Amino acid sequence: MLDEKFVVRKRVRGKFRIALVYPSTYEVAISNLGIRIIYHLLNLDDRIYCERFTAESDRSIETGSHLSEFDLIMFSYQYELDFLEMAHQIARLNLFDKPKIIGGPCTCNPYPLKCLTDYVYIGEAESGLMKLIEEMMDGASPKNLASLEGLFIAGVSEAVRRTYPRRLDTFLPALQVSSRRSIFGDALLLDVSRGCGWSCLFCLGKNFYAPYRERSLDQLAEVMREGVIRGDYEAVALIASDLSRYSRLEELIEIARELRRDRSFRLIAPSLRADAMSEMLLELLAESGEKTITIAPETCEELRYRIGKGFPDESLLNVCKLLKKHGITRIKLYMMFGLPGETMKDLEEAVKLVREIKDLGFRVRVSANPFVPKPHTPMESEEFEDPRILRRKLKFLRRELGRILSTDGIRQAYLQAIIARGDERIGELILETVREYRKPTLAAIRRKAKKMGINLDDYAKRGSEERPWRRIRLT
pLDDT digit string, tens, across residues 40-78 = 999 999 999 999 999 999 999 999 999 999 999 999 999
* CA pair distance 164, 191, nearest whole angstrom: 15
Where do the H-state alpha helices sit in 138-278? 142-145, 204-208, 217-229, 249-262
- Residue 59 Rama label (left phi>0; alpha psi -120 to 50; beta): beta
3-class SS letters over 144-180: HHCCCCCEEECCCECCCECECCCCCCCCCCCCCCEEC
- Written out in words, the top-level CATH class of the domain with range 4-123+125-153 is alpha beta
- Residue 1: pLDDT band (50, 70, 90) is low
For 75, the enclosing helix (H) or strand (E) is strand 72-76
SS3 223: helix
Q: How many CA atoms lie within 13 A of 157 on its CB side?
A: 20
Q: Which of 303, 373, 296, 381 is nearest to 341 (CA)?
A: 303
Residue 38 contacts by C-beta under 8 Å, 6 or more apart in sequence?
20, 50, 74, 76, 125, 129
Per-domain residue ranges of the chain:
4-123+125-153, 167-290
Pairing outcome for strands 405-406 and 72-76: unpaired
Instruction: Name the amino acid, one letter, at 153.
Output: I
Tell me the percentage of the chain whose pLDDT exceeds 70: 100
Distance in angstroms (rounded) separating the CA atoms of residues 276 and 245? 8
Residue 240, Cβ density class (10 Å: 0-12 exposed, 13-18 middle, ≥19 buried): buried
Q: CA-CA distance, 415 to 84, in Å (whole number)?
A: 10
**Cα 47 to Cα 17, 103, 130, 334, distances in angstroms:** 9, 22, 12, 44
304-351 pLDDT, tens digit each: 999 999 899 999 999 999 999 988 999 999 999 999 999 999 999 999
Q: Are 97 and 116 in contact (CB under 8 A)?
A: no
Give the integer Cα–Cα distance in Å for 112 and 103: 13
For residue 291, the model assigns a pLDDT of: 86
pLDDT of 273 over the 90 cut:
no
Can you give the pLDDT at residue 126? 96
| CATH no. of 167-290 | 3.30.750.210
* Closest among 23, 200, 36 to 106, alpha carbons compared: 23
Buried b (16+ CB within 10 A) or exposed e, 428-459: bbbbbbbeeeeebebebbeebbeeeebebeeb
Show the CA angle centred on residue 120, arms to residues 118 and 123, nearest 5°: 165
Q: H or E segment at 458?
A: helix 456-462
351/396 Cα distance (integer angstroms): 10
422-456 per-position pLDDT tens digit:
999 999 999 999 999 988 999 999 999 999 999 99
CA dihedral 285, 290, 292, 294 (to 10 degrees): -40
Lowest pLDDT segment from 136-140, 257-261, 325-329: 325-329
pLDDT value of position 275: 77
Burial of 50 (0-12, 13-18, 19+ CB in 10 A): buried
